[in-house]
Amino acid sequence: MKTLICIILIFLSLSSCSLELWRTVEVRIVEHHQFEEASGKLMWYELRYFNGREVVNARLAPGTSRFSIRVLAGRTCPIAVVPLGILSPYGGFYSPGNDTVFISSLEGPFASLLVNAASYRPDAVSELSIPWLRKIGDFSTINQSEFLNSLYRGSLSYDSLEYSKLYHPIIESIPSGYWISDSSRANSFQIRKSGDSARLSLFTGSYCFWNKERELLLTVVIDEEGRFYTGMTSLSSSWI
């Protein structure tokens, strides 16, 4: 009798494990990066995604536009692809029933936010309905802090959503040249004379602008109070 009970318990344990169905999903990057188009060279990408159980990190070789990942079939799984590991992320979402996920710059910051959130609250992220959320429109307008607070409390609803303002920071003392935006969320701009200023239109988040001729990368980070911070680093088109 004891032997029979042990066999039944083992069978039930194996059955419960088999209920977790893994699915192979194709991921497609549907935009050509503007830095690649300007330089004629391909970049490598850092891949970070939540597979329904844990966050997975990998590196994509230059020129990769399609790849496959394995995810739990019944979970919502955000996917972020970060050019050179430092630029504005591209992203998208696997939802139950999807066969293909399309990655774009517009959804990148929000997908990256949810990948990070999944490291702390995987259940909350995996149960999020992306089709429900897409009904609000542009992800870039969502107040991210308030969204996460509502998600973690289990009180997320259309009424609980708050939206970020569109800010217009003035960035001073910029070297001359054409500054290429790495995201569809912000426009590129021209500086005629070194030391001039640029007035940008940005929602909350992080943005990168590249001056190919000077091999400089301008990063602008703007918070939900409209405060902004800038940084300037070297970035060669050799993509080292």
The model's pLDDT over 174-187, given as tens digits with 9 standing for 90+, comes to 999 999 999 888 99
- Give the chain's radius of gyration (CA, Å): 21
Domain 20-153 CATH (choose: 3.10.620, 2.60.40, 1.10.3470, 2.60.120): 2.60.40
86-120 pLDDT, tens digit each: 999 999 999 998 889 999 998 999 999 999 999 99
Looking at residue 170, its amino acid is: I
Name residues of the chain where pLDDT drops below 50: 4-18
> What's the pLDDT at 136?
80
Residue 240, pLDDT score: 60
Q: Where in the chain is the domain with CATH 2.60.40?
A: 20-153
| pLDDT for residue 239 | 76
pTM for the complete prediction?
0.87
C-alpha 208/C-alpha 153 separation (Å) is: 33
Q: List the one residue out of 20, 91, 109 whose CA is nearest residue 49.
A: 91
